[in-house]
């Protein structure tokens, strides 16, 4: 059995993915190879030759990726902050754009002793678990209404707790419920949310259209059906000086800040771009008493 150069197998994978319209063919080819070999992507150069069954297995993965199965479904993992998360069918795959929201949230609770954090529409638990990892002293609460997504969040929470992170408290609930987290009203230092926000009918990539749960992506005619409830919930939960960060569609650069400003108890409303310069998330702080 003649061993084959891994470099050539990756080049062929890159060509296949590029022809299929995958946006980052080289990166995806290398990540699939690294996943298959059980090594870091940066260590691929240390594996010059592989056996033919490995090449065949890589080709099989590449064919599925070329059919626009999400990369994260093929590897079974996604990342946010310093945590790895298990993802797959039935749960929204965290996006790199959310890293900036996570960083802002961390800055809000910097210097706050034992902060209380709420993650609305938690999905896989990504934001809640990334914040719990960064702040082991925090009390982190996360809510999700979809049972399948909640099962992924529970699995990830158990894995992170086993790895030594602080536990989070998961709830089955709906952000549209005005009674949600009544026991935390006025006690929360940070509210974060990556809600469904894409306006209905917006064209999306095949990975999103065919694999992300519809209800985790689309947010009604204007994309703001859930966001409106998130703003109301955050205004109710935050303590004076506490902060809220809400991710949104790039068409919402004016509308989400306007929803935040409409709440008299919220101030210091700001819009934040993603790395491509597009409007991506909005933030506000709860007013301090006079």
Q: How far apart are CA 12 and CA 62, in angstroms?
A: 10
Distance CA 244, CA 118 (A): 9
Q: Is 25 annotated as a binding residue?
A: no
Pairing of strands 49-50, 4-5: antiparallel
Helix (H, G, I), strand (E, B) or coil at 119: strand
3 state DSSP class of 133: helix
Residue 195 assigned ligand-binding role: yes
Q: Is 171 annotated as a binding residue?
A: no
E-state strands within 63-138: 77-80, 83-86, 116-120
Q: Is 194 annotated as a binding residue?
A: yes
101 with 149: CB under 8 angstroms?
no
Which residues are registered as beta bridge partners of 144? 172
C-beta separation of 257 from 267 below 8 A: no
In eight-state DSSP terms, residue 166 is: P
- The count of other CB atoms within 10 Å of the CB of residue 158 is 11
Does 144 carry a binding-site annotation? yes
Q: Residue 17: enclosing H or E segment and its boundaries?
A: helix 6-19
Q: Which residues contact 20 (CB under 8 A, 6 or more apart)?
A: 65, 66, 67, 68
Q: Measured between alpha carbons, how far is 45 from 171 in angstroms, rounded to an integer?
A: 44
201 secondary structure, DSSP code: T
Pick out the residues of the known binding site: 144, 194-197
Pick out the residues of the known binding site for S-adenosyl-L-methionine: 144, 194
Pick out the residues of the known binding site for substrate: 194-197
């Amino acid at each position: 059995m003649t061993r084959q150069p891994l470099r050539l197998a990756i080049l062929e994978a890159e060509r296949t993915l590029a022809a299929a319209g995958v946006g980052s063919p080289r990166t995806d080819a290398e990540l699939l190879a690294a996943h298959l070999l059980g090594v870091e992507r940066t260590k691929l150069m240390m594996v010059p030759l592989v056996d033919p069954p490995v090449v065949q297995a890589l080709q099989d993965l590449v064919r599925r990726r070329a059919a626009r199965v999400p990369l994260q479904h093929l590897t079974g993992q996604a990342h946010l902050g310093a945590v790895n998360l298990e993802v797959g069918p039935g749960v929204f795959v965290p996006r790199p754009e959310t890293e900036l929201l996570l960083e802002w949230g961390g800055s809000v609770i910097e210097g706050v002793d034992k902060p209380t954090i709420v993650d609305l529409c938690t999905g896989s638990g990504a934001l809640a678990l990334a914040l719990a990892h960064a702040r082991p002293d925090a009390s982190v609460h996360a809510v999700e209404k979809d049972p399948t997504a909640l099962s992924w969040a529970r699995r990830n929470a158990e894995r992170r707790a086993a790895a030594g992170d602080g536990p989070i408290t998961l709830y089955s609930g709906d952000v549209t419920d005005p009674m949600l987290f009544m026991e935390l009203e006025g006690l929360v230092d940070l509210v974060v949310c990556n809600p469904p926000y894409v306006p209905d009918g917006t064209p999306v990539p095949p990975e999103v259209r065919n694999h992300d749960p519809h209800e985790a992506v689309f947010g009604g005619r204007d994309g703001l059906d859930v966001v409106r409830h998130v703003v109301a919930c955050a205004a109710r939960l935050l303590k004076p000086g506490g902060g809220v960060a809400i991710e949104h569609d790039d068409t919402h650069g004016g509308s989400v800040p306007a929803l935040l400003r409409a709440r008299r108890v919220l101030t210091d409303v700001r819009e934040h771009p993603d790395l491509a310069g597009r409007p991506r998330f909005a933030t506000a702080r709860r007013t301090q008493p006079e």
